[in-house]
Every structure is written in structure tokens, then in C-alpha cells.
């Protein structure tokens, strides 16, 4: 398993259950996605039942904007070795 994760550049960290402060990076990404979902739904005047679709759109957008954690590269480009079609 360690070889597979390392081959894809994934760093694996364990944390205790129900201790979200131990996993700050993941919590911050979830907060960013939740804020984006609420904004998309509000701006489109859509009801909460479209949360899943808005989450997919928010994830799509997040993966196509530069990220300071990877030297302002686009996550999509980093993963697929080619720029996204926008």
C-alpha cells in the first residue's frame, strides 16, 4: 500500500476518530468546498436538494484553479500532466 501511495505522491497520515483538529488540511478543504457549494446554490437560486450536483461543480472548479500548496500549479494539470480544457 505504501508503494502505491508514494507512486501517486500521496502522503498518508492517521488521526484519531472524532478529532478533526488533527486533520486540519482536510478540514480546510472541506470548509472551502462547503462554502463554494452554498455560494453556487444561492447564486443559482437552487434548493438544497441539488447539494450533490453543486458539490460536484465546486470540486470541478477547485481542481482547476491554482493552488498555493503546489507552487500555484493547477491540481488537474499536476494529476493528469496536461492542462484542463476550460
pLDDT in tens, 23-80: 888 899 999 999 999 999 999 999 999 999 999 999 999 999 999 988 999 999 998 9
Q: Where are the domains of the chain?
A: 2-80
pLDDT recorded at residue 22: 86
pLDDT recorded at residue 2: 84
pLDDT recorded at residue 25: 85
Instruction: Indicate if the pLDDT at residue 85 is higher than 90.
Output: no
Residues in the chain: 86
Instruction: Indicate if the pLDDT at residue 5 is higher than 80.
Output: yes
- State pTM to two decimals: 0.77
pLDDT recorded at residue 34: 98
Report the distance separating Cα 66 and Cα 74, nearest Å.
4
Q: Which of 61, 77, 57, 79 is nearest to 10 (CA)?
A: 79
pLDDT recorded at residue 56: 98
Amino acid at each position: 500500500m505504501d508503494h502505491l501511495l508514494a507512486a501517486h505522491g500521496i502522503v498518508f497520515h492517521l488521526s484519531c476518530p472524532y478529532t478533526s483538529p488533527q486533520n486540519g488540511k482536510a478540514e480546510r478543504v472541506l470548509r472551502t468546498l462547503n462554502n463554494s457549494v452554498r455560494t453556487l446554490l444561492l447564486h443559482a437560486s437552487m434548493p438544497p436538494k441539488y447539494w450533490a450536483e453543486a458539490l460536484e461543480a465546486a470540486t470541478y472548479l477547485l481542481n482547476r484553479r491554482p493552488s498555493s500548496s503546489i507552487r500555484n500549479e493547477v491540481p488537474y494539470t499536476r494529476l493528469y500532466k496536461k492542462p484542463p480544457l476550460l
